[in-house]
Amino acid sequence: MLRHYVAPYKRYLIGSLLLNLLSAVLNVFSFLSIIPMLQLLFGIDKQTYAFVPWGDASMSFKDILLNNLYYYTTQLMETYGPSLTLLLLGLFLITATLLKTGAYFGSAAVMVPMRTGIVRDIRNTVYEKILRLPLSFFSEEKKGDIIARMSGDVNEIENSITGSLEMLVKNPILIVCYFSVLLYTSWQLTLFAVLVLPLLVWAMSAIGRRLKRQSLEAQKKWSETMAQLEETLGGMRIIKAFTAEDKMQQRFEGVTNDYRRQIGRVSIRMSSAHPVSEFLGTVLIVLVLWYGGTLIFSQRAPIDAPAFIFYMVILYSIIQPLKDFSRASYNIPKGMASVERVNKILHTENPIQSPAHPKTLEHLEKEIVFSHVGFTYPNTQQPVLTDISLSVKRGQTLAIVGQSGSGKSTLVDLLPRYHDVSSGSITIDGIDVRDLDILDLRGLIGNVNQEAILFNDSFFNNIAFGVENATREQVEEAARIANAHDFIMATEAGYDTLVGDRGCRLSGGQRQRVSIARAILKAPDILILDEATSALDTESERLVQEALERLMQKCTTIAIAHRLSTIRHADEICVLHEGRIVERGTHDELLARGGQYKFLHDMQQA
């Protein structure tokens, strides 16, 4: 997964590699030059040195380099004295350290755009995927869990994996560089260290083996916490109405306690990384110090005492990259648990796809035909719709009625392909909707639902939602037709007034009229009304019904009706019962027939 997101930032990765390599070389060079010089300065080495040409074939480059460093140091001491020479060596060390730390800072700085860019790209990709997934996905997944993956899991990827990218780039370079120097200085001591190291690495890896599974469990508990919060915010009115605050508090405390216990296990295992790596690093240093010191004392050492001091300094320098590497080995499994959860969204297959070569349809010219349509939800056996056949000619109004659960909403959801039919077909002007581009298909259709869904934005932006380059005049005209202009202008900022979260600052009738204005501005060929007036009071219903009638004059309409009085003028009424059409006809014909429709009508009149 991450390889795909790293690719656009390769230049930052290359820059970090080069700067880290420069930092490692400067670090080695500063130690290589300072330690032998200090040996001469304090009189440990009494030998006299003469300059050796750099290309002398009789000596190795290592011997020439050390000899000439000793030579230049003796020349400085003879010219300026020991005190000033020590100061010059100190200035040299300061300069080398400044360059080294500058390179290290640069390597860290160039990784910042890469880290932040990768996380941004992951969030954008997840959000885009969420927008493209079918509605069935959201009926099966908890919204709180999706939010948790979008927030907590992506943050965990940033902290655990992209936060470890710098260590993964820097530390291999440092380890290889330092290890090469150790081999060059004394392959015998390095061989001893390598024999001890696997045992220490095994001890370190044992800590992180269960970390991924524990982190996955912790993220699941975090998702449950977010799901509980989302349910609470969505059901606050019911919670207060039934005085269930204490019950909800107990439920929330239960899930947060579970999360605390699980994340505690992960944190304890993570916290053990530094002390364990510190201890094992010290064990390695002591073992090599003991082994090398023993050889020096017995005068069987492969290197002299100054070189051994340099060797120990470099060995100590390699411990920190190893510790950082081990910390990354803990962080990455922890982050991979979050990667798996994010991938569950990214890898979800979307069965609702546009065809490779879609047919074109700019307007409804003739009719919409449902031909022997059947539908069954995935992972279920019971069909929701069975053998539905009906047609709606251009400009007509088709009403669908029936008891709750009879399949009315599912039937109209098949037209814009929120779901695909399990059998049969739906055609517009003879073209199967599955042969049309999804955006073109849905561009023909306008929706007014029972629950008017508004966004926390201005009236203008809510009405103009989905319509590119809408003018203020067009928006106002749509609002006038929807009986919404007067109450909008009565607000503090008119069309620039914010409607609140999901339109919470408006009444039900006002929200519905704004959603009708949105549909009017879109000017769809096909209008779907899903019980658009069922939740309104009498006055609001009258205003909304007037707005709907103006909208329906220009559209081919399929209306799901709860209140039968609102559809008495429909061209055809279909009565659904348990997923089948049991009656069809006009309002007067169905009343005269005395069947299911009359039963529903009489119940509302009672």
Domain range annotation of the chain: 1-109, 133-348, 367-605
Residue 121 DSSP label: H
State mean pLDDT over 116-138.
Answer: 84
Per-residue pLDDT band at 574 (split at 50, 70, 90): very high
pLDDT at 370: 94
The predicted model gives 295-301 an average pLDDT of: 71
Q: What's the average model confidence in pLDDT over 499-511?
A: 84
Query: What average pLDDT does the segment 566-571 reach?
Result: 83
Q: Helix, strand, coil: what percent of the chain each, to 5?
A: 65, 10, 25
Min mean pLDDT across 409-413, 542-546, 588-592 is at 542-546
Residue 557 to residues 399, 514, 575, Cα–Cα distance (Å)? 8, 19, 16
Q: Give the Cα separation of 426 and 414 in Å (integer).
A: 8
> What is the model's pLDDT at position 78?
78
Res. 535: pLDDT tops 60: no
pLDDT at residue 387 in the model? 92
**Complete DSSP assignment for 245-306:** HHHHHHHHHHHHHHHHHHHHHHHHHHHTHHHHHHHHHHHHHHHHHHHHHHHHHTT--SS-HH
> What's 367-605's CATH class?
alpha beta
Per-residue pLDDT at 432 exceeds 90: yes
The stretch 539-562 carries a mean pLDDT of 78
* pLDDT exceeds cutoff 80 at 542: no
Task: Specify the 3-state DSSP secondary structure of 398.
Answer: strand
CA 153 – CA 231 distance, rounded (Å): 20
Q: What is the share, in percent, of the chain residues with pLDDT greater than 90?
A: 13
From CA 467, how far away is CA 524, in angstroms rounded? 11
Q: How far is residue 487's CA from residue 483's CA, in Å, rounded to a whole number? A: 8
Task: Determine the average pLDDT of the residues in 410-414.
Answer: 91
pLDDT tens readout for residues 210-236: 666 677 777 778 778 877 887 787 777
Name which of 186-200, 203-217, 291-305, 542-556 the model is least confident about: 203-217
Average pLDDT, the chain: 81
CA 11 to chain centre: 24
* CA–CA separation, 590 and 59 (whole Å): 110
Which of the residue ranges 155-164, 198-207, 289-298, 418-427 would you say has the lowest mean pLDDT? 198-207
pLDDT at 49 over 80: no
Q: What mean pLDDT do residues 457-474 have?
A: 88
Phi, psi of 400 (to 5 degrees): -120, 125
pLDDT at 540 over 70: no
- The pLDDT value recorded for residue 425 is 94
pLDDT tens, position by position, 138-183:
777 777 778 888 777 887 777 776 666 667 777 788 888 888 888 8
Say if residue 343's pLDDT is above 80.
yes
pTM of the model: 0.72
Q: Identify the pLDDT of residue 459.
A: 92
Residue 544: closest CA among 465, 460, 452, 473: 452
Tokens of 244: 């269930």
Q: What is the predicted pLDDT for the residue at 32?
A: 65
Q: What is the model's pLDDT at position 37?
A: 59
pLDDT attached to residue 536 = 61
CATH architecture for the domain at 133-348? Up-down Bundle (1.20)
* 598 band by pLDDT with thresholds 50, 70 and 90: confident
**Per-residue pLDDT tens over the stretch 308-329:** 777 887 887 787 777 777 666 6
CA proximity to 497, closest of 535, 523, 532, 458: 458
pLDDT at 3 over 60: yes
Averaged over 413-439, what is the pLDDT?
92
pLDDT at 101: 87
d(CA 351, CA 90): 69
> Which range has the worst mean pLDDT, 245-249, 388-392, 396-400?
245-249
| Cα Rg, the chain, nearest whole Å | 37
- Please tell me the least confidently modeled range out of 297-301, 311-315, 529-533, 547-551: 297-301
Which one has a higher pLDDT value, 410 or 508? Answer: 410
Among 17-31, 349-363, 461-475, the minimum mean pLDDT is found in: 17-31
Mind listing the pLDDT tens digit for each residue in 87-116?
777 787 788 888 888 888 888 888 888 888
Q: What percent of the chain has pLDDT over 70?
A: 88
C-alpha–C-alpha distance, residues 414 and 409, integer Å: 9
Q: Specify the pLDDT at position 392.
A: 92
| pLDDT over 70 at 401, yes or no | yes
Cα dihedral sign, 180-181-183-184 = positive
Across 92-106, 208-222, 413-427, 542-556, least confident range: 208-222
